[in-house]
Amino acid sequence: MQTSFQFLLKKNATRLTIAAVAAGSLLMTGCASAGVTGVSQTLVQPQARADVIYVQAFDASPDQVKLDSGIAQKLKTMVSGSSSANEQMQAAQAAREEVSDEIVRQLQAKGLNAVHGDAPAPANANALIVAGNFQKLDEGMRRRRMLIGLGAGKSEVGASVQLLYKPAGGTPVLLETFTADANSGHIPGMAESAGLGAAAGHIAMTAAAAASVHGATEVKRTTLSGDAQRLGDSIAKQVLAANAANGWVPAAHAE
């Protein structure tokens, strides 16, 4: 026979599970986003298929990086003995590498010959060159994302991108330009998530569940690194679309 104490434990466990699921559902509705806008194509029509896709590391300046201004980040900087300038430089370099790595990885996964190519493409090869400039590198504010969410304190990255075609023995010509952006999205913060439990009088329990889910999400998805990877993914999709438009790959590859 179930005692009243066992019944209470079971009831609270059920409530905690419901709270965790509800918090998780809220997070899923505000997932991070990335996309491409302002696509502008030239009248150039390449005659030959690109033999190789050269993905250059995008230009980025350390002073473009907007660091997290939260107290926790400032304390971390003090403890590590690093400087803001050094952290900005590291963040800019990491973003450059992560975006180009992701573009190459996604294109190679589709069977295309994509390589890192900061050096000039071989003179005797037909090459598609992916180049760009970062326009925004903003770490946002982790504390605001965790507590408030819904876009408050979100991290963001953005870049202007150029696709150029270099025929064998020729010089590169511009094919297409576009803007790519990615951010950590509008994930509800702990206060919003805990509100579900608050209505039923279980603030502490729901807040604990929300904190657990938010902690894991913050590590995996709402960082400048995560934004850079999402940016690279959206750029790779546009590069695939350009390849399909020129008849170099089946249209299905761009989906």
> Does the structure show a pLDDT above 50 at 20?
no
Q: At 160, phi and psi to the nearest 5?
A: -100, 135
SS3 string, the chain, reads: CCCHHHHHHHHHHHHHHHHHHHHHHHHHHCCCEEEEEEEEECCCCCCCCCCEEEECCCECCHHHEECCCCHHHHHHHHHHCCCHHHHHHHHHHHHHHHHHHHHHHHHHHCCCCEEECCCCCCCCCCEEEEEEEEEEEECCCHHHHHHCECCCCCCEEEEEEEEEEECCCCCCEEEEEEEEEEECCCCECHHHHHHHHHHCCCHHHHHHHHHHHHHHHHHHCCCHHHHHHHHHHHHHHHHHHHHHHCCCCCHHHHC
> Does the structure show a pLDDT above 60 at 197?
no
What's the CA gap between 113 and 119, in Å, rounded? Answer: 16
pLDDT 10s digits, 113-129? 999 988 888 889 999 99
Give the pLDDT band (50/70/90) at residue 165.
very high
Q: Averaged over 213-223, what is the pLDDT?
A: 47
> Does the structure show a pLDDT above 70 at 40?
yes
- When comparing pLDDT for 217 and 133, which is higher? 133
> Residue 153 corresponds to which tokens in the numbers above?
């304190």
- Percentage above 90 pLDDT, the chain: 41
Residue with tokens 């760009």: 132
The reported pTM is 0.71
> Letter for the amino acid at 21?
V
If you average pLDDT over every residue of the chain, what do you get? 75
> Does the structure show a pLDDT above 50 at 221?
no
DSSP bridge partners of 49: none
> Residue 171 corresponds to which tokens in the numbers above?
């010089």
- Sorted by where each begins, the domain ranges of the chain are 1-30+191-221, 35-187+224-254
> Does the structure show a pLDDT above 50 at 222?
no
Give the pLDDT band (50/70/90) at residue 250.
confident
Q: Averaged over 8-35, what is the pLDDT?
A: 47
Give the pLDDT band (50/70/90) at residue 33.
confident
User: What is the second-level CATH architecture of the domain 35-187+224-254?
Assistant: 3-Layer(aba) Sandwich (3.40)
pLDDT 10s digits, 74-110? 555 555 656 888 989 999 999 999 999 999 999 999 9
What's the CA gap between 175 and 53, in Å, rounded? Answer: 13
- When comparing pLDDT for 135 and 205, which is higher? 135
> Does the structure show a pLDDT above 60 at 151?
no
Ranking 38-42, 50-54, 66-70 by mean pLDDT, the lowest is 66-70
